[in-house]
Structure 1
Amino acid sequence: MNFTPDSKVLIQGITEPLGATYAPLMQAYGTQVVAGVSPGHGGTTQQGIRVFDMVEQALSVVGAVDSTVIFVQPYAALDAALEAIAAGVRQIVLISEGIPPLDMVSLLRKAEATETLVIGPNSPGLIVPGQLLLGLHPGEFYTPGPVGLISRSGTLTYEIALELTQAGLGQSIGVCIGGDAIVGSSFPQWLQILDEDESTEIIVLVGEIGGDSEEAAAHYIAEAIDKPVIAYVAGRTAPKGRRMGHAGAIINSQTAEAGTEVGTADSKINAFRRAKIPVADRPWQIPDLVKKMLKLPTRKG
């Protein structure tokens, strides 16, 4: 993993609306955006960033890059990611929402074979406060500090980062693993990364209803993570048995029809509690739980 101010970053889909909007914001945050890729736009510039038709062409001019942020349309995302992997890029951030599931299966097989880290899809990406922004995170919500923040929901990542910042608790990293049905890197993978990260003293995990990733994370924390973890699960009040959409996530309670409660808020909360992981009822409670675990003074009242 190489997410530092020295990391060189490529933007694929830099002429897409989101790419054109966030490329200069990433640059303004201090990220070294060395080139953009957008087929048919080679030889132009976008906000002062050189644009190439292909990843290989870009790298032949700017040299190796550490990460690529992909803003292309969902049906073009697989080709864009495979092109980056073929060129030797080993950290991929997929902003695109709604990438076809079979495309993600193909991508993840290639990523595993090449030891490529994939964040997303349907993710605002990653931020190392004060150092690096890969994606859409509002940098003003974050400040450097000891709290590692991993989440399935983009907007909740921002909200909780702001709650922590306002409580005087900075963050070592903020990452959203993505809200689509099939995502690249998982909660356990990021838990391991943060457990080994010297800048992280405590981890805040933000989950939501649907799927079993939080149950798997709770089991992994109990078995393998040494650092303290705080959890929050969104969607407690969602009607049971109804398909819903939240940030592109498929919230599906059909698992209940198979005679299991996996995927519900209660299932996830109970899994965390069995693993002796404190669970916040509301986002605003997270800073006090963090301070309690770090033995810092908490607010009164």
Structure 2
Amino acid sequence: MTILVDHDTRVICQGMTGWAGTHYSAAMLEYGTRIVGGVRPGKAGTRHLNLPIFDTVAAGMAETDANASMVFVPPSNAAAAMIEAIEAGMPLVVALTERVPVRDMIRVRDALKQGATILVGPNSQGVLAPDVCKIGVMTTGRARRGTIGIMSRSASLTSEVIAQVSDAGLGQSTTVGIGGDAIHGLGMRECLELFLADQDTRGVVVIGEIGGSEEEELADFVAAVKPRIPVVALIVGRYAPIEHRMGHAGAIAQGLAGDAESKIRALQAAGVIIAESPHLVGATMREALFVTA
């Protein structure tokens, strides 16, 4: 099985008519994702990529029965697009936009409290269930259907870990780019809960980095529930300078808070298996599965 998406996922693209929306929507259609329309205010009644365009998310949902939205809207308007989808009752929203202002994301976070929408992102690579559904910008050449769930804060390392897990003969059930921004939707703990509820996911890889406290919160959850399947973590940024921003809004360690070593210690204490280097993730998970078999 998968988490978040499946063969019945019907996607509309907010911002489809822009360059990014066009380019990635076309790639997703080629992969087999069921994109059923796009949203661009003022262009209702037109077609793009041979799909209908709507003025609003609500109109798109009413006409197409869409149950997922992806956001390719520029940073200045991305929060408004997310809130529109949340208020329309969209079950899943995947926000790919980078550099959404933190103040705007506070409004999005408040909107999420009023409904049942699951938000992935922003600054997310998306969600990929190999041979089932792709929402976002992940590469698919090395992805293979399998039994390992992957959740990641790092875009570049996601592709590397997917390749390793595939080369190890394990494949992926679902890969989720939760996003690296300081304020975002679905977190590591919630994502692991979804993987644990999926009977076909036999192991989970966590790709973490400096900044924030998500890895520590995940460690508390793992210690409390003692998962039946192995959890392997790769935490990067061990040699990152303190109080220097690294790449994006979430990646900054302040003093002893949010640094890589403290995250690793917390996860190890909870029973999470640490991959000592990015090139060892696939082998570490394969060994962990053999030990627990």
Q: Which secondary structure does the structure 1 equivalent of 2:114 belong to?
A: helix
Change (3 A) 1:253 1:87: closer
Q: 1:299 is matched with which residue?
A: none
Provide the secondary structure at the position in 2 that maps to 1:251: coil
Higher relative contact order (CA 8 A, sep 6+): 2
Q: Partners of 1:121 and 1:40 in 2: how far apart?
A: 25
Letter in 1 for 2:166: T
Matched, 1:284 2:279: yes
Q: Which whole-Å CA distance do the structure 2 matches of 1:195 and 1:232 have between them?
A: 19
Question: What is the alpha-carbon distance in structure 2 between the residues aligned to residue 103 and residue 46 of structure 1?
Answer: 29
Aligned length: 288
1:217-275 Cα distance to aligned partner (Å, 9 max, x none): 11111112412100000111212x241332x2433233x1xxxx221111011111111
Farther-moved stretch of structure 1 (160-169 vs 143-152): 160-169
**Are the equivalent residues in 1 in contact too, given 2:167–2:282 (CA < 8 A)?**
no
Give the 5 Å matches for 1:87-126.
Answer: 87-126=88-127
Give the letter for the 2:26 counterpart.
Answer: P
Partner of 1:204: 205
Amino acid at match of 1:36: G
- Structure 1 pair 225/104, CA: closer, same or farther in 2 (3 Å)? farther
The yes-or-no answer on 1:222 pairing with 2:233 is no
2:268 is the counterpart of 1:273: yes
User: What is the aligned partner in structure 2 of residue 252 from structure 1?
Assistant: 252
Distance 1:81 1:250, change over 3 A: closer
Query: 1:13-162 counterparts in 2 under 5 A?
Result: 13-62=15-64, 64-162=65-163
1:57-87 Cα distance to aligned partner (Å, 9 max, x none) = 323322x211100000112112212221232
CA distance in 1, matches of 2:157, 2:217: 20
Relative to the length of structure 1, the TM-score reads 0.91
Partner of 1:188: 189
Paired residues of 1:195 and 1:225 also in contact (CA < 8 A): no
What one-letter code is carried by the residue in structure 2 that aligns with 1:253? A
**Cα distance change, pair 116–138 in 1 and its aligned pair in 2 (3 A):** same
1:100 CA drift (Å): 1.8
Q: 1:163, 1:283 within 8 Å by CA — same for their partners in 2?
A: no
- Find the aligned partners of 2:151 and 2:4 in 1 and give their Cα distance: 17
Give the gaps of 5 or more residues in structure 2: none
Shift of residue 42 of structure 1? 2.5
The amino acid that maps onto 1:234 is V
- 1:178-198: CA deviation from partner (whole Å, max 9, x where unpaired): 011111111000010001112
The two structures, once aligned, show a CA RMSD in angstroms of 1.5
- With normalisation by structure 2, the TM-score equals 0.94
Cα distance in 2 for partners of 1:6, 1:40 equals 29
- 1:136-163 Cα offsets, whole Å, 9 max, x none, are 0111121110100001111111110011
Between the aligned partners of 1:189 and 1:129, the Cα distance in structure 2 is: 21
> How many Å separate the matches in 1 of 2:137 and 2:214?
23
- AA in 1 matched with 2:259: T
Query: Residue 61 and residue 250 in structure 1: after superposition, are their counterparts in 2 closer, same or farther (change >3 A)?
Result: closer
> Which 5+ residue runs of structure 1 have no aligned equivalent?
297-301
Quote the residue 2:239 is aligned against: 237
Amino acid corresponding to residue 168 of structure 2 in structure 1: A
Partner of 2:141, secondary structure, is: helix
**Cα distance in structure 2, aligned partners of 1:85 and 1:253:** 31
Aligned equivalents of 1:55 and 1:20: distance in 2?
17
Give 1:56 deviation, angstroms: 2.5
Structure 2 counterpart of 1:251, which letter? A
Deviations 1:102-138 (A, max 9, x none): 2212212221221110100101111111100010011
- Give the match's secondary structure for 1:133: strand
**Mapped contact 2:130–2:144 kept (Cα < 8 A):** yes
Structure 2 Cα separation of the partners of residues 163 and 281 of structure 1: 14
